[in-house]
Amino acid sequence: MVHIKELKVRPKKRTMYGMCSMQFMGLLGCWSASKDLQSTGACKLAAESLLLCMRTTVPEGRKPRPAINYHLSRLRKRLQ
Where does the pLDDT of residue 16 fall: very low under 50, low under 70, confident under 90, or very high at 90 and above?
low
Tell me the average pLDDT of the chain. Answer: 81
Examine the pLDDT at 17 and tell me if it is beyond 80. Answer: no
CA-angle at 14, arms to 45 and 1, nearest 5°: 140
Indicate whether this model's pTM tops 0.75.
no
Mean pLDDT of 14-32: 83
Where does the pLDDT of residue 51 fall: very low under 50, low under 70, confident under 90, or very high at 90 and above?
very high
pLDDT of residue 57: 82
